[in-house]
Amino acid sequence: MDPNAKPSLAGLSKEQLAEELNQAMGDFDEKTLTGRIENSLASFTQGSILEGTILKVVGSDVVVDIGYKSEGFIPLSEFNDKDEAAIGKPIEVYLEGADEETGLVMLSKRKADRIRGWERVIETHSVGDVVEGRVTRKIKGGLLVDIGVPVFLPASQVDIRRVPDVADYLGRTISAEIIKIDRDRRNIVLSRRQLLERERETQKKELFATLERGQIRRGIVKNITDFGAFVDLGGVDGLLHITDISWGRVTDPRQVVQVDQVLDVMVLDFDPDRERISLGLKQLTPNPWSDIRRRYPIGTRVKGVVVNLVPYGAFVKLEDGVEGLVHVSEMSWTKQVSHPSEIVQPNQEVEVVVLEIDEERQEISLGMKQVEEDPWNQVEAKYPPGLRVTGKVKNLTNYGAFVELEEGIEGLLHVSDISWTKKVTHPSAVLEKDQAVEAVVLSVDRERKRIALGIKQLDEDPWLTTIPRRFRVGSTTSGKVTKITSFGAFVELEQGLEGLLHVSEMSDDKVEKPEDAVQPGQEVQVRVINVDPVDRKIGLSMRASAAEEYPEEVESYAAESRGGTTLKSALSSALREAAIRKDVGGVPAAAPVVSESSDEPAGEASAAAPEPEAVKEESAPVEEPQAGDGGDPGEKPEGE
């Protein structure tokens, strides 16, 4: 029998078995053994961290011995490189769980690393510490930064200013300050903003201590707005206003500068108390307005490009930093330009003449029409007074019609020059737009660029020829009442010709109101008691006694034709008197055509008996111009 052979337990009594067990356990008692077994089982609960050894790599999994009845498996993707998955290498793993049916144990190296990393961070850092990490992900509300474990950086704490897109920081290594630690939830919050603000405060003090006006400083464009760009000078942002970016026109600062661009700028002004700095970029180059008169003498023809249109004109760029304004009134000699887009368009090259320079305000007045000769210089010679012309009605106003004689040249046909006899209150009563009309040139004012036209001057003035012949003082005629006024009634004697029947001439008896004697539309028999070719008036009477007071003077006409005053001389005298008594707005009256061999008796215009006092006072048509009539027709307004 082998002396080293262990005795068989078969056939031993319970007492013998208990003795054998006590000898095998040595110093371990039952309580100690039970505790060790419980601890061993507890170490294999889900969520615990275990120590293991890498056995091998099978496909996409790493097999790890963790001292359990089955090996565990870790996805190979959780290892950064192959060296980390070397066979025999000890490793800490996180127990995800075990499948009782298959016996597979799922482990995670990544979760174990995260938990151990969190524990290390908690042990080595506290609130207020500055840490460095790499931005790995953009999440809702901010960024994840890897400082050994993923921690949260809110979007509001990324920079001093609001960041348009925090994703621009992905992949960047940044420094930030820990502002919150939640041990229970394993959460850490960072702030890069607080760190930057402390650094800038130090830089700000240093900057203002050395800042001077006129200094050239280098900075970085941090933000761009519609009114300029903010440039970080190192601790303080200075404003580069849009007007100080370039001597030329800048409509958007982004046309010249970009975010993160490094710029050299001049310090124009600063206020340490308000922490404001005004910067300039254009001041680094010479001012093109310094010798503007030498380069652009008044009267010089130059070429430029239209850069902007405004309701009152067009801005033309002559060179970088130098623009001039072509006012709408300086675009055409003949056209009435209401908006510059009728003549020019943006980016169009134009030729202009320098009209005026204001160096202090940095303004240049330019003209386009001055490049060509003023056509009005030839108008006086081309359209002398008395010339018959044909044109087209371009526009109708309350006071007359504008007639185009040629492109850009228009004349005014005043309402008072449309008819000798008919009272025209608005040109639309006899004319239409685009209607072709014939007229006579009455006057030309080159300086004011006006031509006065007349239609009635195409014919002789009937008040100086036919009317005195047909309506002799004392003659009777019939007519229709057209209008009743407070002082009498107007009677139409023929188309376009009216006479005044004064209230005092309606009856030999006293008439209180004109409407007591006559009504509009009534046919009446009247006697001519006055014909005034100068004021263009005919006085009428219905009094029976007027036949004796105003006999028809047929015989006197024959006597005068044999004796002294002729009709021509009487009318000439009347015209001379009219020139003195009545101003027709600078438009000369057409000369009457009177035949030297006229057989009419002399004195026809002056043979009328004296007008009664009541007629003298109120016989003139006193109809006031109605609202919208365009004013007194005797006053010819300026052009439209």
Interval 4-10 mean pLDDT:
52
Top-confidence residue, 575 or 178: 178
Q: Nearest 5°: CA angle at 497, between 495 and 500?
A: 135
Q: Which of these ranges, 14-28, 74-88, 559-573, has the smallest mean pLDDT? A: 559-573
Residue 401 has pLDDT above 70, yes or no: yes
- The pLDDT value recorded for residue 407 is 78
Q: What is the DSSP letter of 78?
A: G
CB atoms within 10 A of CB 385: 15
What percent of the chain is modeled with pLDDT above 70? 79
Q: How many CA atoms lie within 13 A of 105 on its CB side?
A: 21
Tokens of 132: 């460095």
Contact criterion met (CB below 8 Å) for 455 and 436: no
CA 499, CA 489: separation in Å to the nearest integer? Answer: 9
Residue 206 in tokens: 């240093």
pLDDT recorded at residue 544:
83
Nearest to 96 by CA among 143, 61, 144, 140: 61
Neighbouring CB atoms inside 10 A of 470's CB total 15
63: CB partners within 8 A, 6+ apart? 54, 55, 56, 57, 71, 72, 73
User: 380 with 336: CB under 8 angstroms?
Assistant: no
- In this predicted model, what pLDDT tens digit does every residue of 114-125 receive, in sequence order? 888 887 787 778
Residue 188 C-beta-side C-alpha neighbours within 13 Å: 25
Q: Is the pLDDT of residue 608 over 80?
A: no
Report, as an integer, the average pLDDT of 621-640. Answer: 38
Q: Which residues, other chains included, contact 538 with Cβ-Cβ below 8 Å and sequence gap of 6+?
A: 467, 471, 493, 497, 498, 499, 500, 528, 530, 531, 532
Reported as half-sphere exposure (CB side, CA atoms, 13 A), residue 208 has a value of 17
**Mean per-residue pLDDT, 372-376:** 79
The pLDDT of residue 408: 75
Among 65-69, 381-385, 520-524, 578-582, the range with the most confident prediction by mean pLDDT is: 520-524
Predicted confidence at residue 628, as pLDDT, reads 34
pLDDT, one tens digit per residue, over 127-155 is 888 889 999 999 999 999 988 888 899 99
Residue 403, strand partner residues: 393, 411
What tens digit of pLDDT does each residue of 331-372 get?
988 788 889 999 999 999 999 999 999 988 888 999 998 888
C-alpha distances out from residue 87 to 63, 82, 398, 538, Å:
9, 10, 108, 135
Rounded Cα distance between 600 and 523, Å, is 30
Q: What is the pLDDT of residue 354?
A: 93
Q: Are 152 and 167 in contact (CB under 8 A)?
A: no
Render 574-638 in DSSP notation, one character per residue. HHHHHHHH---TT-PPPPP---TT--SPTTTTT-SPPPPHHHHHH-S--PPPPTTS-S-TTS-PP
Pick the range with the lowest mean pLDDT from 26-40, 269-283, 578-592.
578-592
- For the segment 612-639, the average pLDDT, to the nearest whole number, is 37
Helices (H) and strands (E) in the chain, counts: 11, 30
CA dist., res. 291 & res. 293, Å (int): 6
As a whole number of angstroms, the distance between CA 500 and CA 484 comes to: 10
Most confident of 18-22, 114-118, 329-333, 567-571: 329-333
Ranges 64-73, 151-160, 472-481: which has the least confidence: 64-73
Q: 601 is written with which tokens? A: 């008796």
pLDDT of residue 631: 38
Query: Quick check: 457 and 495 in contact, CB under 8 A?
Result: no
Highest mean pLDDT range out of 96-105, 225-234, 404-413? 225-234
Q: How confident is the model at residue 24 (pLDDT cuts 50, 70, 90)?
A: low
pLDDT digits (tens, 9 = 90+) for 256-282: 899 889 999 999 998 888 889 999 988
pLDDT at 559 exceeding the cut of 50: no
> What's the rounded mean pLDDT across residues 83-100?
82
Q: What's the average model confidence in pLDDT over 207-219?
A: 88
Q: Residue 13 is encoded by which pair of tokens?
A: 């009594």
Instruction: Report the alpha-carbon distance of residue 488 to residue 507 in Å, rounded.
Output: 12
One-letter identity of residue 512: E
**DSSP summary character for residue 339:** S
